[in-house]
Chain A
Amino acid sequence: MGNFLIIRMEIWKNIKIKRSFRHIRMEKIFRSSLVLIALSLLVLVFAFMLTLIIQSLPSIKTLGFGFLYGKTWDPVANIYGTYPFLLGTLLTSFLALLISIPFSFSIAIFLGEYYPRGWFSEFLKNAIELIAAIPSVIYGFWGLFVLVPIVRSIEIKMGITPYGIGIFTSSVILAIMIIPYAASLGREMIRMVPADLKEAAYSLGATRWEVIRMVIIPYSKSGLFAGILLSLGRALGETMAVTMVIGNTSIIPQSIFDPGNTMASVIANEFTEAASTLYLSSLIELGLILFLVTVVINIIGKKVISRFTQ
């Protein structure tokens, strides 16, 4: 009987030892899979860049820098100059930025300084989040059926060709879409201005506006700048809404009311139709440029934010 008990205890001990060995093995597997997945995220981004570079090699080799300043884009004649799209992208993005900045900064100051709490600021905060949540294809759809007729009637009144669609219309849509990015970041930054700085200015007799202009804005300057950068990154890469209302012509726009094309919209429109290798790879080169520019803008933006918050 006693013998039997000892044997049983031996078996139990073995099981326990085995179990803890299994645990140690699992622990190792878990740790290494964490590292592996983290590495795979890094590899993913590099593979992204590599794929874009390799696939755009044919056009980089044949077209060189002429690709960037060539003024005609005519796939039928095998001429690929992307100047019209670069211009279109820059025009729409900066115009959108110009329109959206007063609004997003007002919201940032409103929520960060004037009314940080209360039902109305809750409402405004939710509204801003909602603006960011609506899919871009819905913005494009709405723009096509509501904004385009409005712009067209304005253009008729101004006496210019009433396209309705075009650079200006897409900038307005884009401006609405990018308001939340600069607004929410700006709000966070304005909140972080130390209260004693503000109080010191008040005690010197400054009015609210003077405090905002001389204390809050200088203090949160770099944060506000980062917000603008992130908005710009969004605007540059935005595809669907712009594609639907910009008009999609490869002619260089003469004014902001002309139809045009952006880098993203030309990719969206022509990628599946691109038959020749050179055509396809020049579209991918556009994608590569877009990727690199947005990456640089985003990294600078994030760096500014992290320096500000530390």
Chain B
Amino acid sequence: MAQNIKYRLGKSRAFKGVIITFSMLCTIPLMLILFYIFREGITKINWDFLTNLPKPVGETGGGILNALVGSLLIVFYAALIAIPFGIMGGIYLSENKKNWLGYWVRLSVDVLQGTPSIVVGIVIYFWIVKPLGTFSALSGSIALAVMMLPIIVRSTEETLKLLPSSLKEAGLALGLPYHKVMLRIVLPCGFSGVLSGIILAVARIAGETAPLLFTAFGNPYFTTDASKPMQSLPLLIFNYATSPYDEWHDLAWGAALILLLWILLLNIITKIITRRWKIQF
């Protein structure tokens, strides 16, 4: 410690400089990706792009209507499956902080959160696709629902834990039955937290590709039948981006921009909700 104070201060400043530069550098790839997707995508998107089906190889034009509708449907069904389970699981965990079942459920939610998405695809393939004998949008939705569950469970649990327990006690003291207290009083109070968890989960799975490879599979034609293979935006991007045709690359760029905008929008909505909520409390 007998070093010159000037040397030590200089070292401190140099370190701060290094930290700041490295932090700045991180934003560069993000900017590059956003910029590139916008530049390539924006020229491809027009009304025809949104309302037409992909044309066969060799013909220019065509759109991504099938993927757009397919993606919305698959994600919608997934949310429909995951939300009730997720919220109920979250309520259970927030009510049972210390018992053994709570411990193991919390652990399994953690495991589910860390499970690679491709593994979810494999398992759902054996649960749904193989017994039914066909790839289907429904199996894709179930795979995505499994991926949504941990996020919804955790956000519900965390939100409800933050609420004062006097809220629940007041309801119970008035003689309200337990289910009404939980569903009509406690849950609405934490509504914005739960909602932002749900939207975040939707944003997270809207771009998932790997679990859909063996479940929804993709489909070049338009379908709204959940028991048939269905196209989705991420699947379309993957298939067309790795194809050798320029027309298909164009479609993929447009689809990538739309997917990106969709996810950005969902994230911004989550931000607005959580910000509002924090001010309230």
Contacts and interface: CB of A to CB of B under 8 A. Distances in A.
Interface size class of B (residues with CB under 8 A): 35 or more
A52 B116 CA distance: 13
Interface size class of A (residues with CB under 8 A): 35 or more
Nearest to A265: B118
Interface string A259-277: 0000010011001100000
Interface string A204-234: 0001111010000000000000000010010
Nearest to A233: B114
Interface stretch (B22-30, B49-57, B161-169, B186-194): B22-30
Interface stretch (A39-47, A75-83, A156-164): A39-47
A182 to B, nearest CB: 12
Given A244-B241, A272-B214, A291 B116 contact: yes
B111 A295 contact: yes
Interface in B168-215: 177-180, 182-183, 203-204, 206-210, 213-214
B69 interface: no
A138 interface: yes
Contacts of B30: 127, 130-131, 134, 176
Given A38-B92, A45-B112, A284-B122, A268 B213 contact: yes
The 10 tightest CB contacts between A and B, nearest first, are A135-B207, A237-B116, A298-B114, A106-B22, A30-B179, A209-B12, A207-B12, A45-B108, A23-B177, A239-B210
Given A138-B260, A146-B32, A210-B12, 19 more contacts: A26-B177, A38-B105, A48-B123, A106-B18, A124-B23, A129-B267, A135-B234, A135-B263, A137-B237, A142-B33, A145-B36, A212-B15, A239-B118, A239-B210, A240-B238, A244-B242, A264-B210, A267-B122, A299-B110
B22 A208 contact: no
A133 B109 contact: no
Nearest to A236: B116
Nearest to B149: A41
B48 interface: no
B221 to A, nearest CB: 19
Interface stretch (B59-67, B73-81, B83-91): B83-91
26 contacts: A26-B177, A30-B182, A38-B102, A38-B105, A48-B123, A51-B126, A103-B25, A110-B19, A110-B23, A127-B27, A130-B267, A133-B267, A134-B33, A134-B260, A137-B209, A141-B237, A146-B32, A207-B8, A209-B12, A209-B15, A230-B114, A237-B119, A239-B209, A264-B118, A271-B125, A291-B119
Given A37-B92, A176-B29, A290 B263 contact: no
A268 B241 contact: no
B62 to A, nearest CB: 18
A291 B115 contact: yes
Nearest to B104: A42
B115 A299 contact: no
Given A33-B88, A34-B92, A299-B111, A237 B122 contact: no
B16 interface: yes
Interface of B: 8-9, 11-12, 15-16, 18-20, 22-23, 25-27, 29-30, 32-34, 36-37, 85, 88-89, 91-93, 95-96, 101-102, 104-105, 107-119, 122-123, 125-127, 146, 149, 153, 177-180, 182-183, 203-204, 206-210, 213-214, 217, 234, 237-238, 241-242, 249, 252-253, 256, 259-260, 263-264, 267
A70 interface: no
Nearest to B263: A133
Contacts of B19: 106, 109-110, 114
A102 interface: yes
A303 B265 CA distance: 34
Contacts of B101: 35, 38-39, 42
Contacts of A290: 116, 118-119
Q: Interface centre among A142, A238, A244, A284, by most B CB within 10 Å? A: A142
Contacts of B32: 142, 146
Nearest to A143: B33
A193 interface: no
B15 to A, nearest CB: 4
Interface in A20-39: 23-24, 26-27, 29-31, 33-35, 37-39
Nearest to B125: A271
A23 B111 CA distance: 36
B179 A26 contact: yes
A34 B122 contact: no
Contact of B259 (A131, A138, A139, A230): A138
Q: Interface centre among B96, B125, B241, by most A CB within 10 Å? A: B241
Nearest to A50: B123
B113 A298 contact: yes
A139 B30 CA distance: 10
Given A26-B177, A35-B101, A106-B23, A295 B114 contact: yes
Q: Interface centre among B26, B34, B127, B179, by most A CB within 10 Å? A: B26
